[in-house]
Amino acid sequence: MPLVYAELRQLARAKMAREQPGHTLQATALVHEAWLRLGQQPFENRAHFFSAAAEAMRRILIDRARRKLAAKHGAGAEHVDVHDLEIAAPTAKDDELLAVHEALDALAAHDPRKAELVKLRYFAGLTIDEAADVLGISTPTAKRDWTYARAWLFREIGSQP
């Protein structure tokens, strides 16, 4: 497990490096939270572990984005007349993350393997080759699935209000 943990930290660092400047979540914290969520459950193989880790990271980032947006939308705040205040708009990154999350759930209902590929690429930061290896498919198949999933998600996100 220590070898897998080190690889997971490397993936999280790569993922967090692509986040916008000033974010408060560090790669180590993301890995630790994902590690805790994974617990002591047994994993069938490397693919099963990375799939579960990608899902855990995805849920952590989604929960974090929801909390930030809820705070910006006044969760638990006293009711004040809107005309008296300037309202801060949510960051594009949080909106994008939630839109991808919702569209990804729809894709999972349509084609689970392609949704899993997106989770591994978008949330765990794996390359096409690494994700193909984890999913047990060829790299050309992963590339086709990635192209399809990106187009499908783009269309799905574009149709959201």
* Domain count for the chain: 1
Helix, strand, coil percentages in the chain from 3-state DSSP, rounded to 5: 75, 0, 25
Q: Is the pLDDT of residue 70 over 60?
A: yes
pLDDT of residue 128: 92
Q: Cα–Cα distance between 127 and 132 in angstroms, integer?
A: 8
| pLDDT higher at 146 or 25 | 146
Q: Which domain holds residue 68?
A: 2-158
* pLDDT 10s digits, 75-111: 555 554 544 434 344 445 667 778 878 888 899 999 9
**What pTM value is reported for the model?**
0.52
Rg for the chain, CA atoms, rounded: 17
Q: Which tokens hold the place of 62?
A: 């989604």
**pLDDT band, residue 66 (cuts 50/70/90):** confident
Range scoring the smallest mean pLDDT among 98-102, 103-107, 112-116, 142-146: 98-102
